[in-house]
Structure 1
């Protein structure tokens, strides 16, 4: 097994696997950009936790570590930047899964995938009503399939090259793991990280919904 590289959070100084952190770097227009999967060039790493992002912004850690002068940025601006990047990455992964025929959509297809135990992850649209997915969510809970929220109905459908979708099932464990790993980068409070959805990478467990607004 290949060992995973570690990096330290610029705020709390905790050493974590690089894949569990958000990389912040400078983009050509002189502003900050975020990278979810590592990258080349100068960058700094931060935990995807509100408290760490807030501390890094307040202490001006990004400008100090990158050795540049940055325009003022609020923690809300940074969190929105991360959510936007997560949203794009999830859409890209779903597009790849669609081309590999590793994702199904539509209530009947999703239900069938769960009953056949081929579904590894269920994604429901963040703007889907609770009533529209209640039956499927109950089934997911019964069979022990991870349920998360990502994108809006329009964005979920666009990622699959079609009409708006309320929910989809990812049937490949590699794609499912990749999507869940990206969703873990959404900034949360410390208490939320300790809840079951923080264990979403475990395909055998369940996850509370984590929203990604498209």
Structure 2
């Protein structure tokens, strides 16, 4: 988290995506993405690209789910879920598959990117708040998983930007589209308590699930011939 060097896994993942992007770009040129199964369409490479990104999002959701579950065993149990909004509440997201399918490709990519961008700082806050003097087992576990998820966030952001470029979608997010700094106010640097931890991990798991599901919808709308 922060300004650390990227891991070897992240480097290899991004290298794979970059090489696959170059391969698809050379084969497609400036033509729009074609229908899955169409003659002469390099859909298999692009479908593989989607599958790789979706697999990574599923891994991220799995790790966030495990982290949230583990927190129930180590952190004090309190009836607090729902008292605070997730900091990503200002990002308009589809609430079901049907509404997600109504979004255009560019809109869906922007929603996914905004969710991914919104978690870099809170994960950094979470990592910094893991004091080795308290709940040592969970803090070590939580700190390691926060770093792992941060790597995945970086990989997925780059993957989404490449997917946007392949579809000639706008991938640059203006500062106005980011989650306002004020929405991070309950994630104070180095001052998170057990309630903050619970709330953050609950929201992380929720948003990771959204990203995974939206990516699946995006693949289905890109390749109408696939089994969705």
TM range (shorter): 0.3 to 0.5
Task: Provide the TM-score with structure 1 as the length reference.
Answer: 0.35
| TM-score (normalised: structure 2) | 0.34
> 1 or 2, which has the higher strand percentage?
1
